[in-house]
Structure 1
Amino acid sequence: MQPLILTTSKGLEELLKAEVERLCPEAEVAIKPGQVRLEAELADAYRLCLWSRLANRVLWVLEQGSADNKDQLYELAGRVNWGRHFDVDQKLVIDFVGTNRQIRNSQFGALTVKDAIVDQFMDLYEQRPSIDKQDPDIRLHCRLWRDQAIIALDLSGQSLHQRHYRQQTGEAPLKEHVAAAVLYRSGWADSGKPLADPMCGAGTLLIEAALMAANIAPGLARQRWGFDHWKNHNQSLWQSLRDHAVDQQREPAMVISGRDEDSQVVGFARQNAERAGVKHYVDIAQGDACEWVPDTEQPGYLVSNPPYGERLSELTALLPIFDRWGQHLKRHFADWHLALLSSNRDLLRQLKLRAHKEYSLYNGRLECQLALYRMDEANCQERIQGHNDFENRLKKNLNKLKGWLKSQDTNCYRVYDADLPEYNIAVDCYGDWAVVQEYAAPKNIPESKTRRRLMDALMVLPQVLNIEEDKLVLKVRQQQKGTEQYQKLAQEKDFIQVYENGARFWVNLKDYLDTGLFLDHRDTRQLVKSWSRGQHVLNLFAYTGSVSVQAALGGAKSVTTVDMSNTYLDWAKKNFRLNKLVGSAYQFERADCTQYLQSQKRQYDLIFIDPPSFSNSKRMDNTWDVQRDHLALLTDAKHSLSADGKIVFSNNLRGFKLDEKGLEQVGLRAENISAKTLPTDFKRQPKIHHCWVITHG
């Protein structure tokens, strides 16, 4: 008898234990996190390699014991008679898992074991085996936990979840052993009933189900094993087990069918099924999950791994799909059993179904929940949604803004801003798009509740705003610090044009936390425009240059746009070109705005300054804090201000206090014009920004 360890994904240990007990009924099986242990014969080890649908690796333990430090690990590895397992001219690789206080990384641990093996061969044969990570003859596996280690031969060679039938997949493929676990947990494996997967992707669930139904050992298709070059390998025993496995195959007695809306992925699924040898056992075709009903009179099991919507843009598109799918399931899948695997419970909630059991498991490193549903009378009832407070408030806001919008020359405006505490979001319209910004929720509100409220809002918005579902963009807004102030969110690079008071602007609704146009400064930009005729204008911390554009359209003699970011300066230049503003009167400077004021000698008639609250950008010599540093900044700006000039100074730090006494001491006078610069659609949040006109005293 030899100690064996079978590894698996977290959450599958109990299932694997039951499987091992079926395959090796005489063995005593124990569980540890991510693994199952037993004492077994070589035939048992071969059988587990051949038949396990849930294990990743089958490890034949050669030695185990204390390994608190390098010397102990070296001594432990040296206790193995390596010449009994492979020859000196064979290639090996060592996988090492785990660390402790003395052995702090896996590479160091693997090197220590390798040294022990090489030294033993050198002492006996004056030759050393070679390491080959790509094509080894022997794969060794070492696992370290605190001061204990095991050293084992990896009989599987490659992870057993790699069945070698998947050459192509869609996005976020489901690992084969996890698919098998889902089928076991669903209850389908022992039911003899039809199986349907309406979002089958590359077909992994369908193929694993067909392999089960046909009693095909998942290891039969594997061409290489970790024991192929092992000295103790018993080829005749192995071959007899393979032959017996072939004899056990049978024709499936149930319907196994799947659909996917992506025709390319359907092609992948069919090719994968053919490579797995189950092409004739599964029906795979293109179809819409919200319309497809399996061609079977007998209720069965719907088992699926629907899309998770990992990116925010995907989530907003998936919510209405899951809502429609839930209605479809209620109408056409009475008496079926459902098993849905997802890492996003928000999406599953849109089905409006009550799960009777849930399991946690991992697909790779992604934590998922497997929710089981019975489509009984209670779950098949259409649930009439009650009054939606958010929907009512949104409609009320739109109605209030209707008259004001007719008088405005813009298609960008705010329609909702955390009016209801439980719906802590802001909603901005940009033409036929809408951007939803989720504020960080108060700590006393459970995250699950805020997520449900957010999903409710996202479901309502397309209909009330009369926009397409894929033109709803979701962002999470929280207090930003330093270089996070213009945080990059994605790499879509999708720009759309919007207009405002005679100007056109490029906005990017997906890639950044901010879109490129601060809507609360709409009236401020109009004031700057009205004051710019015949003036030399300087725009500091210019971002995408929207204030500069309005100044230029207002008839400024010159406009100088200053920002530290090349990205935003390029964006500003695009906005100028969009408005046909070209010529030497318009200058763009990449610089730290605080240093720019200190170094340049020009005089300006109008200076616009809208700095961030805080910044520690690598492009700055020092940190920036608007409360701490604004007086010094405005003092420097005074030296660049013409005698009759004015500074428009704005910021959005909620608790900001202008140092008026300090300004007086340096010869400046400030007039608070915050109320004048607050647009109608932002009056629900009067502290969204502060604004002053500052002149020579």
Structure 2
Amino acid sequence: MQSPYSSVYKKRSAAVQPPAAPNAFDFFLPCPRGVEAALADEVKALAEHSPTLRAGMPTPGGLPVQGSLTDAMRLNLHCRLPSRVLLLGGSCSYADAEDIYHLARDLAWEKWFDVTQALRVDVTAEHSPLASIKFAALRVKDGICDRFRALTGERPDVDTAHPDVRIHLHLREADALLYLDTSGEPLFKRGWRSEHGAAPLKEHLAAGLLKLSGWTPDDVLFDPLCGSGTLVIEAAQMAANRAAGLDRSFGFEALQGFDMDAWNALREQARQAVRPLTPGQFFAADIDPANVRMTLDNARRAGVDGAIAAQAGDVIAAVPPVDAAALPAGQAAWLISNPPYNERIAPEGEAADDFAPQLARTLKQRFAGWHVALLAADLHWDKALRLKPRRRIVLFNGTIECRLMLIDMVAGSARG
């Protein structure tokens, strides 16, 4: 599997210092594999409001971006699809961990944070020849600490649980890249979730399903297997033009060099851009009443509770919450869901042979005129569902290979 960090930046033989030009920073935005093109579209839409923001060519698992530090704040605030906004600090070729130590020691970290701030170093690797990538991460920490000790006589603390600053090391076969994490907590942690059910769908992947399916913020959405409500909440926030990061803080707020007046202005603009929603567009259901309560509670914290109707019910007995044929011209009805699998209720193999045809029968008999998008992690589902998708999109939910199956429902009954 190719890493999201592959072939993104030209190899450099020496560390790169933070540039003076405001539009000369390189960033990398990791995202779930399969949504890279949608992420590029998301960044390009933001670039319409910034002359300095430019999206690069998508690479498996992410997107390289160039822009200013204000653009980094804009990306953190508005983007729904990436997991982080990483600022490239420098890179080097390496033969052993000592080369990586020297890279870390030579970078001007004091331009970004001071010795009183605790740090954490994370590491990923693809085809690295090093015997221990954890030791490489330790040498990054040593290099940073030794630089501060040489400058100030003190070393910053390390705090893996609640760091002020996060550093990310990525090791390729011949070169190492060091990033400063401007996001802090992963961006899929929007700030509204207090509870989640078993195997929850992460927010950035939910946003990816919505983008890839063809659903638009004007369309009706029904998730009959809503769990903690991630899909309908993401959709409602998109329809309300509510920025993904409006209710949380970010790592760059603890860093030097970021214009906090500009940040406050960006956040206020985002607040002013929120649109009110009316009931009748977003619907959710789940067989577990506790999940319904969780969905409504999460929706309240997300600022979209009044727009979402949720009730307890078995998906096999589900009926359309609206008549698709009666919708105004240009508005479509979508059923988008992440059917339970693996640790949730495990409809794999023989179990899928039972559950999937029942779901297909419900869709065929009651949801004529609806568009359907189902995320299937058990690849046996494609056969067991016995419906013909117009398109299958390969996605990864973490390390789990999935298929997003897009199906246009017509009148009739399931085969079999």
Q: Same fold (TM over 0.5)?
A: yes
Report deviation, 1:100.
5.1
**Cross-structure match for 1:375:** 409
Report deviation, 1:256.
0.5
Counterpart among 305, 311, 331 of residue 279 in structure 1: 305
- 2:307 is the counterpart of 1:307: no
Counterpart among 24, 32, 41 of residue 9 in structure 1: 32
Report deviation, 1:311.
8.8
Matches within 5 A, 1:284-683: 284-297=310-323, 298=327, 300-309=333-342, 314-315=347-348, 316-317=350-351, 319-376=353-410, 380-382=411-413, 385=416
Alignment CA distance shift 1:313-1:280 (3 Å): closer
- 2:158 is the counterpart of 1:158: no
Counterpart among 31, 36, 42 of residue 19 in structure 1: 42
Alignment CA distance shift 1:9-1:383 (3 Å): closer
What SS does the aligned partner of 2:306 have?
helix
1-side partners of 2:85 and 2:43: how far apart?
Answer: 11
Matches within 5 A, 1:48-127: 48-98=75-125, 101-127=128-154
Per-residue CA deviation, residues 451-471 of structure 1 (Å, 9 max, x unaligned), is: xxxxxxxxxxxxxxxxxxxxx
Would you tell me which structure has more strand in proportion to its own residues?
1
Whether contact under 8 Å (1:21, 1:29) holds in the other structure is: no
Matches within 5 A, 1:20-59: 20-25=43-48, 26=51, 27-59=54-86
Per-residue CA deviation, residues 158-189 of structure 1 (Å, 9 max, x unaligned), is: 11011132222222211110000001111112
Alignment CA distance shift 1:301-1:80 (3 Å): same
- 2:293 is the counterpart of 1:267: yes
1-side partners of 2:128 and 2:197: how far apart?
Answer: 41
Counterpart among 176, 191, 214 of residue 149 in structure 1: 176
Whether contact under 8 Å (1:66, 1:76) holds in the other structure is: no
Q: What is the identity, as a one-letter code, of the residue corresponding to 1:5?
A: F
What SS does the aligned partner of 2:386 have?
coil
TM-score normalised by length of structure 1: 0.52
Counterpart among 267, 270, 273 of residue 245 in structure 1: 270
Alignment CA distance shift 1:180-1:313 (3 Å): closer
Q: What is the identity, as a one-letter code, of the residue corresponding to 1:239?
A: N
Report deviation, 1:55.
0.4
Per-residue CA deviation, residues 428-480 of structure 1 (Å, 9 max, x unaligned), is: xxxxxxxxxxxxxxxxxxxxxxxxxxxxxxxxxxxxxxxxxxxxxxxxxxxxx
1-side partners of 2:134 and 2:236: how far apart?
Answer: 40
Structure 2 unaligned segments of length 5 or more: list them.
1-23
Alignment CA distance shift 1:327-1:137 (3 Å): same
Q: What is the identity, as a one-letter code, of the residue corresponding to 1:346?
A: H
Report deviation, 1:107.
1.4
Alignment CA distance shift 1:50-1:124 (3 Å): same
Alignment CA distance shift 1:327-1:102 (3 Å): closer
2-side partners of 1:101 and 1:205: how far apart?
Answer: 37
Report deviation, 1:317.
4.9
Per-residue CA deviation, residues 52-108 of structure 1 (Å, 9 max, x unaligned), is: 100001011111232332232122222211221111122111111116555333311
**Cross-structure match for 1:231:** 256
Report deviation, 1:364.
1.9
Whether contact under 8 Å (1:67, 1:76) holds in the other structure is: no
Give the aligned length. Answer: 380
Alignment CA distance shift 1:348-1:169 (3 Å): farther
1-side partners of 2:291 and 2:311: how far apart?
Answer: 10
Alignment CA distance shift 1:313-1:91 (3 Å): closer
Report deviation, 1:344.
1.8
Alignment CA distance shift 1:263-1:374 (3 Å): same
Whether contact under 8 Å (2:129, 2:173) holds in the other structure is: no
2-side partners of 1:58 and 1:98: how far apart?
Answer: 18
1-side partners of 2:180 and 2:160: how far apart?
Answer: 15
Whether contact under 8 Å (1:64, 1:149) holds in the other structure is: yes
Report deviation, 1:334.
1.2
Q: What is the identity, as a one-letter code, of the residue corresponding to 1:329?
A: L
Alignment CA distance shift 1:5-1:271 (3 Å): same
**Cross-structure match for 1:182:** 209
Alignment CA distance shift 1:198-1:312 (3 Å): closer
1-side partners of 2:376 and 2:361: how far apart?
Answer: 19
**Cross-structure match for 2:232:** 206
Please say which of residues 341-350 and 40-49 is displaced more in the overlay. 341-350
Q: What is the identity, as a one-letter code, of the residue corresponding to 1:247?
A: Q
Q: Structure with the greater relative contact order (CA < 8 A, sep ≥ 6): 1 or 2?
A: 2
What SS does the aligned partner of 2:392 have?
strand
**Cross-structure match for 1:510:** none
2-side partners of 1:58 and 1:126: how far apart?
Answer: 31
**Cross-structure match for 1:219:** 245
Alignment CA distance shift 1:159-1:383 (3 Å): closer
